[in-house]
Structure 1
Amino acid sequence: MKRILLLTFLLISVSAVCLSQRLVEVAKGYSCTSVNTAVFRNNSLVTHKGEQYISYYDAEGYLVLGKRKLKSKKWTIHRTQYKGNVKDAHNIISMMVDGEGYLHVSFDHHGHKLNYCRGIAPGSLELGEKVPMTGVDEGNVTYPEFYPLSGGDLLFAYRSGSSGRGNLVMNRYSLKNHAWTRVQDVLIDGENQRNAYWQLYVDEKGTIHLSWVWRETWHVETNHDLCYARSFDNGVTWYQSNGEKYQLPITASNAEYACRIPQNSELINQTSMSADADGKPYIATYWREPGSDVPQYRIVWNDGKTWKYRQVTDRKTPFSLKGGGTKMIPVARPRIVVEDKEIFYIFRDEERGSRVSMAHTTDVSHGKWSVTDLTDFSVDAWEPSHDTELWKERRKLHLFVQHTRQGDGERTAEIEPQMIYVLETNTNTNK
């Protein structure tokens, strides 16, 4: 089955950046929760050797895979044999392509046994049977994420355990052996008192950047602080930004603190990070400063010597993060990409009509942030995810876009299946 539709083509000039956009229709998908549009979907889109893959749950909860040639308007869509509990927005689909062209998929987890399978052939959208990876600590999995490593191997990260009592686990897939091995049993140890909610980025040089907030309980208001670590050897050895080697596992007492943020600051978890060509890390998030009741989007970065942070937006509307489960929040957790000195910061805010929006600056320390809306329609509970590999290879920003809704605390919302799009936003950084 093939579906195509080119909806619109826009040219937007924003400060020093020129955005060439088109919105390409894919198919309708489940929309009663944000399961298709959570920020920690890594990846919803991925490009390998000129072909772009997409994954989502359809209206009946089936895992659907698709692919197309880049620039093509023709999608090949395949409904797999697998279904997910789409009523719980944690149960996202994560996918990646290895160096031989095989698709790897993990899906439908919120404290459940590992669900993992591979394509039956290079480039195939047909998935084989579910299989274990290492067979260790695979009974209580949440937040599966794949990342490509140099040479075509893959990294797989997930939380083993529960909110407030979980550990970060890492596996590596070897193209040579066609098998998974354990890299870290417990990279970040919550010591049975807390857990880390992380974001991870593998830069063009192969350095793994990892940042996280601590959470003491399953209640989101106990999020606090922002920490950092990096690895130059595919996750085996870890360092602080000043070059000091970590003694593993990383705990609350030996972690590097990029920014101290107290509990009850409306600090959100699991957002996004990136790095520039020199390997300097950038973290996108939001929180509320003492004395204010309005959470603001912020960027935290290391200039090679010290950690700094800066406010990105000037929001006016207060809100508070309380309780457990998936929240219906008036803003999305942000995504960030970096090119040279340019920052592209993608978000959604009710104050802007809940559209897909982007903030941009050419000077992270002092430059003005210019904000534009990338859609003329509301996406409601949508959070950004993008084709990370296409950005690294070609500096083209392709976003997974769908209008979704979310009931507070894992409740569903009434909405018909909504169209899924790929929003192609090609940034022109030539001045």
Structure 2
Amino acid sequence: MNIYKKIICGLCILSLFACATKNNVETAVGYGWSNNSVNTVKFRKNALTSFKNFQFIGYYDADGTLVLGKRKLNTTHWDIVKTPYKGNVKDAHNSISIAVDGDGYLHVSWDHHDTKLRYAKSKLPLGLDLGNEEPMTGISEQKLTYPEFYNLPNGNLLFFYRSGASGRGNMVINSYNLEDKKWSQLQTNLLNGENNRSAYWQAKVDSKGVIHLSWVWRESWDVSTNHDLCYARSKDGGLSWEKSNGEKYTLPITVATAELAWKIPEKSSLINQTAMTTDAKGNPYIASYWSDNNIPQFQIVYLENGVWKKTNTAFRQTSFYLGGGGTKQIPISRPDVLVQEQGKNRYLYLLFRDKERDNKIAVAYTNLNQGNSWKVMDLSATPVGEWEPNHDISLWDKKNKLHIFVQKVNQIDGEGLAKTEPTMIQVLEINQLPK
């Protein structure tokens, strides 16, 4: 990138986040690959995470190198390290996921789409210098997709991934123990597609350490065969699982035994791999989108007093149909979901972007306890392309602060590549959410 283009890009960054809420902060991190959406896909867990007074970030730069960054919270300077590792950035599935364990070690997994495990750990606590690639358990590590880390309250980590291919994959869960600094496998096939289908999940660990898991089933490689929203939870770190009424599952869970949180037929433009959160009582909230009448709408399915309920945002006005394979160019992003409770008020927030709104970063919100209609507000002044939201989950859970990973990216339908210059990666800090 020549100096003129850098200056122009820098000027664009200054105007990118002219936020509708006051006193928000945007911090530049570095230039990243933007020819597809590999840096911003929704199933990154995590793109951005915090430990004590430090925040960590991971992304691919222009030549596909895995880059790590660290800063002290409430500062704007990032320490950036180009690791010796690269990924196949031409495939948007091959994203980077990071987490920090309770001892402060950074764990990184990257570059997967039906390929062998790629995993490394920092040499020192709070360090960015990674050790050698290594296996976790050596079991079912040859054909991985969708690696995701989750933090447990005791400092241990969970690692979820799909073993096998789209339409016939199984869900594996590994556990990292701080005491012996080793990984073990808890589940080899928690969600069993029975070689006929696969599950696409999202998960949330609540403040008490309960693991909440939801998923849709897909009958083939075609996203149009997504159907039904199902649920399970674990109160013992992932060893045993139960339904929302406490009934124990016989493992593995299959399409016949799964608890149905919401019935959704195939060919409903139902998206997969979205987001979950929980409230103070441990009730799960599952965000997704699908179509009831040819217009896909963002919808939230949630548990209240033991009963599954749904709120439909219903503000979208344009139709599209979700079908086919590969990474899609979709008019809307998958949503991120947050709950904020204040007294008798229970505010729900959805982070998203929508071509209807010129692909700007937006937030939809409502007071669920008052039955208010959904309102929408833009958080950016200019488009972010095919970006999808990732926020610092650890920071939100511990301090109720919302930091969002942002990069303007492009996605050509079906794993196509755009020809664009690298774009600046930023962290957007939302200091006041609307009510």
- TM-score surpassing 0.5? yes
Q: Does residue 1:232 correspond to 2:220, yes or no?
A: no
Partner of 1:395: 400
Select the residue among 73, 83, 88 that pairs with 2:76: 73
Select the residue among 166, 176, 182 that pairs with 1:179: 182
What does 1:42-53 correspond to in 2, within 5 Å? 42-53=45-56
Select the residue among 195, 198, 213 that pairs with 1:195: 198
Percent of pairs with identical residues? 53
SS in 2 for 1:162: coil
What does 1:103-182 correspond to in 2, within 5 Å? 103-182=106-185
Partner of 2:337: 336
Partner of 2:28: 25
Partner of 1:350: 355
What does 1:210-289 correspond to in 2, within 5 Å? 210-289=213-292
Q: How many Å apart are 1:11 and its aligned residue? A: 7.0
State the alpha-carbon separation in 1 of the partners of residues 285 and 182 from structure 2.
33
Partner of 2:38: 35
Contact 1:213 1:223 in 2 (8 A): yes
State the alpha-carbon separation in 2 of the partners of residues 314 and 10 from structure 1.
23
Q: How many Å apart are 1:93 and its aligned residue? A: 0.0
Aligned residue pair count: 420
State the alpha-carbon separation in 2 of the partners of residues 36 and 354 from structure 1.
17
Partner of 2:320: 319
Contact 1:297 1:313 in 2 (8 A): yes
Q: Does residue 1:383 correspond to 2:391, yes or no?
A: no
Q: Which shows bigger deviation, 31-40 or 360-369?
A: 360-369
Change in Cα spacing, 1:329 to 1:405, as seen in structure 2 (3 Å) is same
Deviations 1:257-302 (A, max 9, x none): 001101000000000010000000001100011xx22111111111
Contact 2:315 2:374 in 1 (8 A): no
Contact 1:96 1:147 in 2 (8 A): yes
State the alpha-carbon separation in 2 of the partners of residues 259 and 364 from structure 1.
21
State the alpha-carbon separation in 2 of the partners of residues 234 and 333 from structure 1.
27
SS in 2 for 1:151: coil
Contact 2:287 2:336 in 1 (8 A): yes
SS in 2 for 1:351: helix
Could you list the runs of 5+ residues in structure 2 that have no partner in the other structure?
A: 1-9
SS in 2 for 1:64: strand
Q: Which shows bigger deviation, 180-189 or 4-13?
A: 4-13
TM-score calculated relative to the size of structure 1: 0.95
Deviations 1:346-366 (A, max 9, x none): 000000110010011121672
SS in 1 for 2:402: strand
Partner of 1:16: none
Q: Does residue 1:415 correspond to 2:420, yes or no?
A: yes
State the alpha-carbon separation in 2 of the partners of residues 383 and 20 from structure 1.
23
State the alpha-carbon separation in 1 of the partners of residues 237 and 38 from structure 2.
29
Corresponding letter in the other structure for 2:316: R
State the alpha-carbon separation in 2 of the partners of residues 297 and 80 from structure 1.
38
State the alpha-carbon separation in 2 of the partners of residues 11 and 198 from structure 1.
32
Deviations 1:115-170 (A, max 9, x none): 00000101111111100000000000000000111221100000000100000100
Q: How many Å apart are 1:198 and its aligned residue? A: 0.1
Q: Does residue 1:205 correspond to 2:208, yes or no?
A: yes
Contact 1:12 1:20 in 2 (8 A): no
State the alpha-carbon separation in 2 of the partners of residues 173 and 368 from structure 1.
43
Contact 2:230 2:260 in 1 (8 A): yes
Deviations 1:360-385 (A, max 9, x none): 11216722222111111101110000
Change in Cα spacing, 1:29 to 1:305, as seen in structure 2 (3 Å) is same
Corresponding letter in the other structure for 1:219: D
Partner of 2:430: 425
State the alpha-carbon separation in 1 of the partners of residues 173 and 395 from structure 2.
24
State the alpha-carbon separation in 2 of the partners of residues 368 and 349 from structure 1.
19
Change in Cα spacing, 1:364 to 1:247, as seen in structure 2 (3 Å) is farther
State the alpha-carbon separation in 2 of the partners of residues 400 and 12 from structure 1.
18
Q: Does residue 1:300 correspond to 2:301, yes or no?
A: yes
Contact 1:31 1:416 in 2 (8 A): yes
Contact 2:199 2:216 in 1 (8 A): yes
Corresponding letter in the other structure for 1:373: D
State the alpha-carbon separation in 1 of the partners of residues 244 and 431 from structure 2.
31
Q: Which shows bigger deviation, 25-34 or 310-319?
A: 310-319
Corresponding letter in the other structure for 2:310: Y
The ranges of structure 1 where at least 4 consecutive aligned residues each deviate by more than 4 angstroms after the TM superposition are 4-13
Deviations 1:357-416 (A, max 9, x none): 001112167222221111111011100001000000100111100000011111111211
Q: Which shows bigger deviation, 315-324 or 49-58?
A: 315-324
State the alpha-carbon separation in 1 of the partners of residues 413 and 273 from structure 2.
18
State the alpha-carbon separation in 1 of the partners of residues 370 and 265 from structure 2.
24
State the alpha-carbon separation in 2 of the partners of residues 425 and 83 from structure 1.
32
Corresponding letter in the other structure for 1:406: Q
Select the residue among 91, 94, 106 that pairs with 2:94: 91
State the alpha-carbon separation in 1 of the partners of residues 318 and 226 from structure 2.
21
Corresponding letter in the other structure for 2:388: E
Change in Cα spacing, 1:113 to 1:253, as seen in structure 2 (3 Å) is same
Could you list the runs of 5+ residues in structure 1 that have no partner in the other structure?
A: 14-18
SS in 2 for 1:419: strand
